[in-house]
Amino acid sequence: MTIDKSEYLIKRHNKVYEVVIGLEVHAQVTSNSKLFSSSSTKFGAEPNTQVSLVDAAFPGMLPVINEFCVKQAIKTGIGLRAQINKRSVFDRKNYFYADLPQGYQISQFKYPIVGEGTVILDMQDGQKEVGIERLHLEQDAGKSIHDMDPQNTLVDLNRSGVALMEIVSKPDLRTPNEVSVYIKKLRSIMRYLGTCDGNMQEGSLRADVNVSVRLKDTKKLGTRCEIKNVNSIKFMQMAIDYEANRQVDLIEEGKSIDQETRLFDTKKNETRSMRSKEDAHDYRYFPDPDLLPLEVNDEFINELKLTIPELPDDKKKRFIEEFKLTPYEATILVSDIETSKYFEEVIAKMGKNQDIKLAVNWITGELFAVLNNKNLEISQSPISAKNLAKLVNLIKNGTISGKIGKTIFELMMDGDKDPQIIVEEKGLKQESDPKALEALIDKIINENQEKAIEYKNGKEKLFGFFVGQAMKISGGKANPQLINEILKKKL
């Protein structure tokens, strides 16, 4: 498998195939109540406890559009730099399934609320634009549970009627890695906006993955297969890799690809045919007679624009200009809104004479490692931005060495301790008094006369030995820069 390569091509018998991918992402709208009813959307409730008569499709019940969900969709559209459509229409998408009591899903077909837009991907070798085809609002179905009762399938309607945004990309993605970056970017934008929490474990973000292959440098798109409802980035990547290779093998055998809907089997790590691909007309879409077309005016849209926070692309640009970060550092620090807040708080708390590079290194190095290890979000960081700023300043102004900084960092994790207090309590202040250091070095040279002579005779490697001794005897507190200078002078 060649999943993380930036150039992802499939080679067979001197032929080179390119993979084309388009995603239909289903993002659950962050909202306390459902799209057409006032039932709660809270995750993890007992089955069938959050179901109104509308969600259960009792006869005669009428849907009422939730204005908050409409605002969320428009805000997301703005975040995707997309066309906001002032008039959109809800349609019925008709199909039968036990977890769909209405017998149809209310969705938007011809006239979605959001039209074309763009998402920018920050790749290692520069930026890539991915086109957004549309974003529409629709309801989620209930959930069929097949593995709790050996005889029966159980149905939980808590999800029934929950608002989803379906975000359809153009077939602009070319590699599993781009897919990963794309999903993360979408999620980041929606988290900044507060329109979808992006929690894939809870099913708030899932995608139908469309895959086709074609000979490299040809224009015409190949026939696509659609892999339904994949709920992790890793599975998306594995599914694409399997599916693209399957399609190339078929073509190489002289067979053709059937346009079909497939399923990714996470245990066998392969895609399997579910059904031949349905066409829109199979669903008998028609405008829902219970709902008026949805109309919004400029004023409504402009008011929402005022609520849009600084989004990752703008923040990245500002971080590069204002803090002289590299694009790479800026990308990491803006990828998650909480991380960017933490970083900015550290900068603010460092005050004048700040060493931003050093702060970046501590955040993306030590702090990220700890969060990763303990599986914590940055909002749960055991070390506050304020105290990390203090630690960086202590290193910057020479009170402690970077090495001692690491020791102190460990100690800070116990109850977010103030590093200044740790330095005082443990006597960890860096020794920068030249007289004291000279005395220390004189002693070391005296005790290691032979080595000193060897060094003078050209065994330069021994320099490190003397530095090591000085650090060891001083308990790591000797100022390494001064030690170097003094040693050079004395040896």
Return residues touching ligand ADP (CB under 6 A).
20-24, 168-171, 210-212, 221-222, 224, 226
Q: Please answer whether residues 44 and 52 qualify as being in contact, where contact means their C-beta atoms are separated by less than 8 angstroms.
A: no
Q: Which of residues 27-86 bind Mg ion (CB under 5 A)?
A: none
For the chain, the residue count is 491
What SS3 state is found at 192? helix
CB of 21 to ligand ADP, least distance (A): 6
In this complex, which beta carbon is closest to ligand ADP, that of residue 26 or of residue 75? Answer: 26
CB of 175 to ligand ADP, least distance (A): 13
**Cα–Cα distances in Å, from 278 out to 258, 263, 283, 285, 288?**
12, 14, 8, 13, 21
CB of 225 to ligand ADP, least distance (A): 8
Please choose which of Mg ion, ligand ADP, none residue 175 contacts, taking the beta carbon within 5 to 8 angstroms, the exact cut-off set by kind.
Answer: none
User: Which sign, positive or negative, has the C-alpha torsion 95, 76, 344, 416?
Assistant: negative
Q: Which of residues 8-27 bind Mg ion (CB under 5 A)?
A: 24
In this complex, which beta carbon is closest to Mg ion, that of residue 100 or of residue 437? Answer: 100
Q: Which of residues 196-215 bind Mg ion (CB under 5 A)?
A: 208
- Tell me the residue nearest to ligand ADP as measured from the CB: 22
**Cα–Cα distances in Å, from 162 out to 37, 95, 146, 378, 381?**
9, 18, 21, 29, 32
CB of 271 to ligand ADP, least distance (A): 14
In this complex, which beta carbon is closest to ligand ADP, that of residue 171 or of residue 287? Answer: 171
**Cα–Cα distances in Å, from 257 out to 101, 169, 210, 229, 405?**
34, 22, 13, 21, 60
In this complex, which beta carbon is closest to Mg ion, that of residue 24 or of residue 122? Answer: 24
Please choose which of Mg ion, ligand ADP, none residue 190 contacts, taking the beta carbon within 5 to 8 angstroms, the exact cut-off set by kind.
Answer: none
CB of 422 to Mg ion, least distance (A): 56
CB of 209 to Mg ion, least distance (A): 10
In this complex, which beta carbon is closest to Mg ion, that of residue 263 or of residue 467? Answer: 263
Among the listed residues 76, 60, 63, 61, the one whose alpha carbon sits nearest the alpha carbon of residue 35: 63
CB of 46 to ligand ADP, least distance (A): 33
Please choose which of ligand ADP, Mg ion, none residue 18 contacts, taking the beta carbon within 5 to 8 angstroms, the exact cut-off set by kind.
Answer: none
Please choose which of Mg ion, ligand ADP, none residue 23 contacts, taking the beta carbon within 5 to 8 angstroms, the exact cut-off set by kind.
Answer: ligand ADP
In this complex, which beta carbon is closest to Mg ion, that of residue 185 or of residue 262? Answer: 262
CB of 262 to ligand ADP, least distance (A): 12
Please report where in the chains the tokens 């959307």 appear, as a residue: 41
Please choose which of ligand ADP, Mg ion, none residue 412 contacts, taking the beta carbon within 5 to 8 angstroms, the exact cut-off set by kind.
Answer: none
Among the listed residues 155, 128, 157, 126, the one whose alpha carbon sits nearest the alpha carbon of residue 52: 157
* Terminal C-alpha separation, the chain: 56
In this complex, which beta carbon is closest to ligand ADP, that of residue 50 or of residue 212? Answer: 212
Q: Which of residues 207-266 bind Mg ion (CB under 5 A)?
A: 208
Put the strands of the sheet holding 286-287 in their side by side order: 104-107, 91-94, 286-287
Please choose which of Mg ion, ligand ADP, none residue 212 contacts, taking the beta carbon within 5 to 8 angstroms, the exact cut-off set by kind.
Answer: ligand ADP
Please report where in the chains the tokens 């530095």 appear, as a residue: 467
Q: How far apart are CA 454 and CA 460, in angstroms?
A: 8
Strands (E), 205-300: 205-215, 225-230, 260-265, 270-276, 286-287, 294-295
Q: Which two tokens stand for residue 205?
A: 């973000």
Please choose which of Mg ion, ligand ADP, none residue 100 contacts, taking the beta carbon within 5 to 8 angstroms, the exact cut-off set by kind.
Answer: none
Which is it for strands 126-139 and 163-169: parallel, antiparallel or unpaired?
Answer: antiparallel
CB of 415 to ligand ADP, least distance (A): 49
CB of 208 to Mg ion, least distance (A): 5
In this complex, which beta carbon is closest to ligand ADP, that of residue 196 or of residue 470? Answer: 196
Alpha helices in 19-162 (DSSP H): 67-79
Site size for Mg ion (CB under 5 A) = 2
Which is it for strands 260-265 and 225-230: parallel, antiparallel or unpaired?
Answer: parallel
Please choose which of Mg ion, ligand ADP, none residue 22 contacts, taking the beta carbon within 5 to 8 angstroms, the exact cut-off set by kind.
Answer: ligand ADP
In this complex, which beta carbon is closest to ligand ADP, that of residue 22 or of residue 476? Answer: 22
The string of DSSP letters for 94-134 reads: E---TT-TTSEEEE--SS-SB--EEEEEEETTEEEEEEEEE
In this complex, which beta carbon is closest to ligand ADP, that of residue 22 or of residue 142? Answer: 22
In this complex, which beta carbon is closest to ligand ADP, that of residue 171 or of residue 327? Answer: 171
CB of 237 to ligand ADP, least distance (A): 15
The string of DSSP letters for 303-356 reads: HHHTT----HHHHHHHHHHHH---HHHHHHHHSSHHHHHHHHHHHHHH-SS--H
Residues that bind Mg ion (CB under 5 A): 24, 208
